[in-house]
Amino acid sequence: MKKANIHTFFSILQAANPHPKTELEYSSNFELLTAVLLSAQATDVSVNKATRTLFALANTPQKILNLGLEGLEQHIKTIGLYHSKAKNLLATCQILVCQHNSQVPRTREELEALPGVGRKTANVVLNTAFGQPTMAVDTHIFRLGNRTGLAPGKTPLEVEIKLLKRIPADFLLDAHHWLILHGRYVCKARSPECWRCSVAHVCDFKKKTTAP
């Protein structure tokens, strides 16, 4: 995708949704970290359903620890991979209490040192909680990076690096939210809805599919 088209692409997404937000429900940085950790290979809908009851009872690292493994699993058992996620969340809470005064750390290194927190999760927290211009490449963003021509790459990290280089600075803070939402509701994996896509005219995929 050409530089001018990239600017047009994000200008259109920005105009349609000036203040994009994650669809995960949270009211503190710790709740956000917990929700993102639980969201791996799960839908935001399923995570929100579980965390509504979990956070009503336990919304701090110490309160999560007080639940214990069995108690925590009861609250998140509707989420995929809940056994391993419960263990990781408890271990993360222990580190937060002992090393970070129960606060979510603000650096990538400290975040990625937490059990169950990889680069993508760290990027979400850095962006959404702390306003850093990071790019959390999930399955939607990886697909869009390749399909649209924004940032073709064979790995999530390659797509991430290219997106950070190619997206204009004015759009970078919110870009990851726009791309996720666009991939979730319009540029779908199996059946991209090009017929109703507001950025189809600057998308390389659309050009290919309409070429004679």
Q: Annotated catalytic sites, by residue? A: 120, 138
DSSP codes joined into one string, 146-200 = HHSSSS--SSHHHHHHHHHHHS-HHHHHHHHHHHHHHHHHTS-SSS--GGG-TTG
State the Cα–Cα distance between residues 13 and 200, nearest whole angstrom. 12
Structure tokens at 8: 């047009």
Contact 112, 120 (CB under 8 A): no
Question: Three-state DSSP class for 17?
Answer: coil
State the Cα–Cα distance between residues 123 and 133, nearest whole angstrom. 9
